[in-house]
Amino acid sequence: MQYSKIPNMDDESLRSFLANKKHPLLLSFYAPWCSTSSVLEPALNEIAHDYQKRLQVSRLNIDENAHAPAEYGVRTIPHFILFDKGEIVASFSGAQPKTKIIEFIEIHLSS
């Protein structure tokens, strides 16, 4: 099933989103040239659709936004950070199957 694309964030919109602390956020740090990031996009689209009432899924292009990757210590991509109430809850790097990403969300996201 095809869902809409994951919304992009930039350094400023991420800062603003986290300051509001309204919804949990799974943020994918990616680059257009990274094939692993591209491979994960369909799974992230499905997760974004399935979790739309509990979680926002967004992505941030590290080539266009240098502040957030530096601030959060992103050294490899893809890199994922789960935020809740504006704070980092957990993170991981590298490709994971959809089932593992869902497990990661369920373990770390408060109900």
3-state secondary structure 9-48: ECHHHHHHHHHHCCCCEEEEEECCCCHHHHHHHHHHHHHH
In the predicted model, is pLDDT for residue 81 greater than 60?
A: yes
Of the chain, the percentage scoring pLDDT greater than 90 comes to 86
pLDDT in the model for residue 1: 45
At 14, list the tokens: 């991420």
Region 44-57: mean pLDDT is 94
The pLDDT value recorded for residue 99 is 96
The SS3 call for residue 79 is strand
Between CA 39 and CA 58 the distance in angstroms is 16
